[in-house]
Amino acid sequence: MASRTTVDPGIGGSRGISVGNVFGRSANVIKDNPLATLGTSFALIALPQLLLGQIGLSAAVFDNIRAGSYALAGLYGIVVGLLWLIASGALVQATVAHDEGRPANPREMLRVGVSRCLPLFAVYMLFTLGISAGMMFLVVPGIMLAVMWSVSLPAIVAERPGVFGAFGRSRALTKGARWHVFGILLLAFVIYLLVSMAVGVASVAGYGSLGALTGGGQVRMPIPTQPSLVFQLLQSIVSTVVLTWFTTVGASLFIELRDWKEGPDADRLADIFA
């Protein structure tokens, strides 16, 4: 899809970028399409890990790492990462569909997620390498690049401008609103981190390893015991909700920035036929 022409934000609309706009849009995407969004995330991310845990693969990965072998862990990471990229692309497509005023279609979401998986991987790797390099120079350049490129992943799915074009599109959309973008992303990350920590603490308790972690003042690697399936399922559901919300926040930020710069689709059509 050809990228849109970026215009002065004053032309696109008077509504500014705010936490309420972005978080509200993200919540509405999930609320209006719970099965398509949460169901897709659960099926692609939580359920495979849950099933692999039940057949003992998670424990096998843990044992291999303890033995100094990382081949199985690497394969496991590739599979999980691939499914995460597909789910991310699917959730961006759900957000785009919501912006267009239509319900998210799981089949369409999966088709887009699979077709955009490799470009997403390329953008993600370049994004990670660029931020890491920036962080080496007193942190600030890394943060600046992270904000500037913050919507490159949604852009590669929603508009298909090419791998390098996605970074240029993100840079253009965030220009003039980067402090707002930084604040929104920081708040979203803090919320995500706090909830993830809570889930992690619950997971440690569920595995019964708190005593091994703190007992005797010695640092030891605990041998996990299998928690109940009900506990694992609840943990997976919470993780699915958090990850889905965080991903749709990024996609919603892209939509909000695009509407702010260029006006909503309805406004652009009205200008054309005026």
Q: What is the pLDDT of residues 69-106, one digit of tens each?
A: 777 777 877 888 899 999 999 999 999 999 999 999 99
Q: Does residue 216 lie within any of the structural domains?
A: no
User: Which pLDDT belongs to residue 205?
Assistant: 63
Residues contacting residue 93 through CB under 8 Å, at least 6 positions apart = 104, 108, 109, 112, 113, 157, 158
Host domain of residue 122: 16-211+225-273
Residues in the chain: 274
Q: What is the pLDDT of residues 223-256, one digit of tens each?
A: 445 566 777 788 888 889 999 999 999 999 999 9
Q: Does residue 220 lie within any of the structural domains?
A: no
Q: Does residue 1 lie within any of the structural domains?
A: no
Q: Does residue 2 lie within any of the structural domains?
A: no
Q: How far apart are CA 142 and CA 14, in angstroms?
A: 30
Q: How far apart are CA 97 and CA 22, in angstroms?
A: 16
Q: How far apart are CA 225 and CA 219, in angstroms?
A: 18
**Global confidence as pTM:** 0.80
Q: Does residue 217 lie within any of the structural domains?
A: no
Query: Which of these ranges, 47-56, 84-93, 107-116, has the smallest mean pLDDT?
Result: 47-56
Q: How far apart are CA 72 and CA 38, in angstroms?
A: 29
User: For residue 9, is pLDDT > 50?
Assistant: no
Q: What is the pLDDT of residues 25-43, one digit of tens each?
A: 999 999 999 999 999 999 9
Q: In this structure, what token pair is assigned to residue 70?
A: 């990382």
How far apart, in Å, are the Cα atoms of 75 and each of 72, 78, 202?
5, 5, 27
Start-end of H helices in the chain: 9-12, 19-32, 34-41, 47-54, 57-66, 71-99, 106-115, 117-135, 140-148, 152-158, 163-174, 178-206, 210-214, 229-262, 265-273
Number of domains in the chain: 1
How far apart, in Å, are the Cα atoms of 54 and each of 210, 214, 241?
22, 27, 21
Q: What are phi and psi of 185, to 5 degrees?
A: -65, -40
Q: Does residue 8 lie within any of the structural domains?
A: no
Q: Does residue 194 lie within any of the structural domains?
A: yes
Q: Does residue 3 lie within any of the structural domains?
A: no
Q: In this structure, what token pair is assigned to residue 273?
A: 């036929």
